[in-house]
Amino acid sequence: MRYRKGAALLGALALMTLSAACTSSTGGSTSVTTPAGPTGGDGLVGPAWALSSAAVDSIDLTAFGITIAFTDTDVSGSSGVNTYAGAFTSSPEGAMDFGPLATTRMAGPDDAMKAETVYLAVLDTVTGYSVSQTELDLFAGQNEVLTYSRS
């Protein structure tokens, strides 16, 4: 069962801030630098990753103990109050897609429940990843939306 709340998710997504590009001006000319985007990499599967930053202005998602862990075909983690699990696919070049995610249905404090709703909505937008030994970045298109470190 997919964790969705219709209008609440749309509202949460509307509150997200995704940086598309950085611009700078030097000597009258303007240059645009875009993020590298997803590059894939080895090391996705293994111990859990802890959320360390998110491109969301509405709430500090890092305050709720959010995690993600991967096996070869499955993803699971804590979304703040509840746990989630499901299937995912990825490519060595950095593409990523999550299948339907199932969640437990426990209630929690309002701020934690809001964080969970926002997190799962952002996770649903993910299309790519980049991974190093200590950091995992998830992308929506070319925009970095979630960053994790090894927990």
Per-domain boundaries in the chain: 7-150
Give pLDDT tens digits for 38-70. Answer: 888 889 999 999 999 999 999 999 999 999 999
Q: Give Cα separations from 47 to 12, 40, 109, 112, 114 (angstroms).
A: 29, 17, 28, 24, 26
- Report the CATH architecture of 7-150: Beta Barrel (2.40)
The closest alpha carbon to 50, from 81, 78, 74, belongs to 78
Asked if residue 105 has pLDDT above 90, the reply is: yes
Distance in angstroms (rounded) separating the CA atoms of residues 20 and 41: 22
- What's the pLDDT at 151? 66
- What's the pLDDT at 121? 96
